[in-house]
Amino acid sequence: MKQYVALITGASGGIGSAIATTLAEEGYKVALHYGSSKEKAEKLKDTLIGKGFDAWTVQGDLTKKSDVTSVVEKTLDHFSHIDVLVNNAGALNDAPIDEMSDEAFDQVMAINVKGPWQLIKAVVPHMKAKAYGRIVNISSGVGSFGAANKSNYGASKGAINTLTKSLCKELGPFGITVNAVEPGMINTPMTDYIDDKDKAAYISRIPRGKQARPEDVAHAVKCFASDAASMISGQIIGVNGGLR
Ligand SMILES: NC(=O)c1ccc[n+]([C@@H]2O[C@H](COP(=O)([O-])OP(=O)(O)OC[C@H]3O[C@@H](n4cnc5c(N)ncnc54)[C@H](OP(=O)(O)O)[C@@H]3O)[C@@H](O)[C@H]2O)c1
């Protein structure tokens, strides 16, 4: 099997580390991107290398264009190609709209939309040159269905969904697929702020009767990333136990 290289942003986080682990187990060489959580990323790298996988870390603040460029250049220097890009890094900054600052809106859009857009822009020339690429964007159910106090986050994930659909049309002729995954609420540092009562109320509405795990999201990413998924593009799949 050809050894594909996957760049996973936010691999230091809850969902990103599961995606990186699943892709490494699937035979991909993995570039583990992190922003500020160097220790978590290095620990994941050591664990994966300990299991005999090819893993490497790369740092960058994805709200800075220069960092995005250097993440892609360093990954290409290290692995010589990028076959799969998983735009997973993301952030929340919730507030009712009349209390949300302009800065909170701009910050969430910068991390959740402009960062992925810049990354795609930077990897596409390399994918086009190889006539092969898999881009998987981690969106959110909030992007399709909305949620109170998340007007910035919802707008950012809605934008990721239409970015996915637009780029699928543009990049298909070059052998590049673009898909998105919409997780439901997953237990990670991002959702630590939600209290147990609200989590229980959410879980009680899930037809499968339980919350999805980071590994469930990773499974959907693995499907989109696979060589065999060449005819699956522009799709947005929920990982939420049937909630939507
Ligand atoms: N958890 C959920 O319920 C849920 C539901 C739907 C969608 N999602 C989406 O899933 C993705 C992963 O979320 P998660 O739950 O795994 O959250 P998490 O554990 O908080 O991880 C977030 C990741 O994003 C990275 N990141 C944030 N801002 C960054 C920046 N400016 N530059 C570079 N990296 C940055 C963090 O890196 P550092 O820590 O290294 O800075 C971290 O690795 C996000 O796109 C999120 O919107 C999550």
Work out the number of other CB atoms within 10 angstroms of the CB of residue 227. 11
Report the separation in Å between the CA atom of 13 and the middle of ligand 1, taken as the mean of its atom positions: 6
| Residue 88 near ligand 1, beta carbon < 6 Å | yes
Report the separation in Å between the CA atom of 1 and the middle of ligand 1, taken as the mean of its atom positions: 31
User: Residues 88, 140: contact at Cβ < 8 Å?
Assistant: no
pLDDT at 52: 98
180-236: pLDDT as tens digits:
999 999 999 999 999 999 999 999 999 999 999 999 999 999 999 999 999 999 999
In single-letter form, the type of residue at position 113 comes to V
107-138: pLDDT as tens digits:
999 999 999 999 999 999 999 999 999 999 99
pTM over 0.85: yes
pLDDT at 1: 53
Pocket test for ligand 1, best of 137, 187, 188 (most atoms within 8 A of CB): 188
Set 4, 28, 34, 153: catalytic member: 153
pLDDT at 130: 98
| Residue 185 near ligand 1, beta carbon < 6 Å | yes
- Under the banding of pLDDT at 50, 70 and 90, the label for residue 80 is very high
Two tokens, residue 128: 């086009």
Report the separation in Å between the CA atom of 131 and the middle of ligand 1, taken as the mean of its atom positions: 30
Handedness of CA 56, 139, 231, 122 (dihedral sign): negative
15-74: pLDDT as tens digits:
999 999 999 999 999 999 999 999 999 999 999 999 999 999 999 999 999 999 999 999
Name which residue sits closest to atom 38 of ligand 1, judged by CA.
Answer: 35
Task: Catalogue all structural domains in the chain, each as residue range(s) with its CATH number.
Answer: 5-239 (3.40.50.720)
Return the ligand 1 atom nearest residue 11 CA: 43
Mean pLDDT estimate for the chain: 97
In single-letter form, the type of residue at position 43 comes to K
The verdict on whether 153 is a catalytic residue reads yes
Work out the number of other CB atoms within 10 angstroms of the CB of residue 50. 9
pLDDT at 190: 97
CA distance 28 to 81: 12
- Percent of the chain exceeding pLDDT 90 equals 99
Question: 3-state DSSP helix/strand/coil percent for the chain, to nearest 5?
Answer: 50, 15, 35
Name which residue sits closest to atom 24 of ligand 1, judged by CA.
Answer: 89
- 3 state DSSP class of 153: helix
Q: Is the pLDDT of residue 2 over 80?
A: no
